[in-house]
Amino acid sequence: MKKTFQFRIYPSRKQEVVLNRTLSTCRHLYNDALSERKKQAELNRLKKEFDVFPLGKPEWISYEDQANHLSHSKTDFQKEIHSQVLQNTLKRLDRSFRNFFNDFGYPRFQGRNRYNSFTYPQSGFAIETGKLNLSKIGNIRIIQHREIEGKIKTCTIKKDIDQWHVSFSCKIETPIIPVEIKTGIGIDVGLSSLITLSNGRQIEPPRFLREKEKKLTQEQRRLSRKKKGSGKRNKQKIIVAKVHRKIRNQRTDFAHKTSRKLVDTYDHIVFEDLQIKNMMQNHHLAKSISDAGWYQLIGLTKSKAEYAGKIVELVNARNTSQNCSGCGNPVPKDLSVRMHSCPFCGLVLDRDHNAAINILNRSNSTVGTTGINARQGLLDRGSMQRDAPWL
Ligand SMILES: [Zn+2]
């Protein structure tokens, strides 16, 4: 299985210049290669429509074509970069085209703020005590706050406004031994920032996270008042981006701690499938932001569970808040009704608690009797997280 380890790195001023230049060169390569493919696509379209290129034009420019071409037409800037890093840039483009065919958006030209990482896919990097050695760049100070496990496969350098990080994607060979499933829990992730367990417990994100979210709204409002293209606006943009980063980091931290707690405590963890849920609702921006947090929590819980030989299951959340978890009858209520109170069986409990029990009840397996088959069934249900083109 794969595991990612991320650390902060501290380049010197000089190194930072080189890192920025590398990013910029990769970004230009990406955009040029994209424009080449676009042109070709347009030619192909014309060919189909008017049959004006009867002979010889290739149907499609492949990764191999572009990598091949690159290898004997490097610019001076490109020569300063480890060749695999450049190849990886073309691979990314190739991947976004493949994703496009799988219904993702058409690959976009990358602006300076968007293109923020480059990858050594195999070699060209080494890690020593306190130092990350990057080919063509040098030794960068690194704070390695935990041990890397497994075999490092790729090394990605990422810029985050004014900070730099390295992440290693590692392959871990240790066989995973499935545990006997004894304890199960259903989890309702709400519209609010709260999660509710089927045993009635609630987990609340730390207060500072909520405070920071308020601050973000303030700073964004300030940004919207600044004149487009002005220096003040650019400064405000950076402020907003930094608040964003703070929130993201705190959320990740919260998601790590919560998922760790869940996996340590329960063998079988059931969430609602947010993707199915979102297909049924039209959602607001604020909602999709909070969902991003839930996706992360579910993703982290999944990977920790997998590592521990435990199970995470996603179930269809349809009507989980409406139906009675006691007798199964529908008890319609709108969002403002916080209590579930069943006229059929008399069950009264918190709305989200009722939903969490329904989520657990929808699970495919019965706790205690789960065998390999049930496990296999769960694993086959596909992963919920769309692969970002690169992260
Ligand atoms: Zn009932």
Cα of 147 from ligand 1 centre, angstroms: 51
C-alpha 342 – ligand 1 centre gap (Å): 5
Q: With b meaning 16 or more CB within 10 Å and e meaning fewer, what string describes 23-36?
A: bebbbbbbbebbee
How much distance in Å is there from the Cα of 85 to the middle of ligand 1?
Answer: 60
Span 84-118, pLDDT tens digits: 999 999 999 999 988 887 766 788 999 988 899 99
- Dihedral of alpha carbons 69, 72, 75, 77, sign: positive
Q: How far is CA 279 from CA 61, 273, 359, in A?
A: 35, 10, 18
How many Å lie between the centroid of ligand 1 and the Cα of residue 361? Answer: 14
Which position has the token pair 């989520």? 359
- How remote is the CA of residue 278 from the centroid of ligand 1, in Å? 27
Give the distance (Å) from ligand 1 centre to CA of residue 355: 13
Distance from residue 330's CA to the centre of ligand 1 (Å): 8
CA of 316 to the centre of ligand 1 (A): 20
For residue 130, give the DSSP letter: T
Ligand 1 mean position to 198 CA, how many Å? 16
Task: For residue 189, report the distance from its CA to the centre of ligand 1, in Å.
Answer: 22
User: Ligand 1 center to residue 274 CA distance, Å?
Assistant: 25
pTM over 0.85: no
| 317 Cα–ligand 1 center, Å | 18
pLDDT in tens, the chain (391 residues): 888 999 999 999 999 999 999 999 999 999 999 999 988 888 777 777 776 665 555 567 889 999 999 999 999 999 999 999 999 999 999 999 888 877 667 889 999 888 999 999 999 999 998 999 999 999 999 999 899 999 999 999 999 999 999 999 999 887 888 899 989 999 998 766 678 999 999 988 777 777 888 898 899 999 999 998 889 999 999 999 999 898 888 888 989 999 999 999 999 999 988 775 554 454 554 555 566 778 889 999 999 998 899 999 999 888 899 999 999 999 999 888 889 999 999 999 999 999 999 999 998 765 543 333 333 333 333 332 222 222 2
**Rounded distance from Cα 327 to ligand 1 centre (Å):** 4
Residue 181 Cα, ligand 1 centroid: separation in angstroms? 28
CA of 29 from ligand 1 middle (Å) equals 62
Interval between CA 348 and ligand 1 midpoint (Å) = 8
Token pair recorded at residue 47? 């060919």
Nearest to residue 77, comparing CAs of 17, 36, 159, 5?
A: 17
116 Cα to the center of ligand 1, angstroms: 53
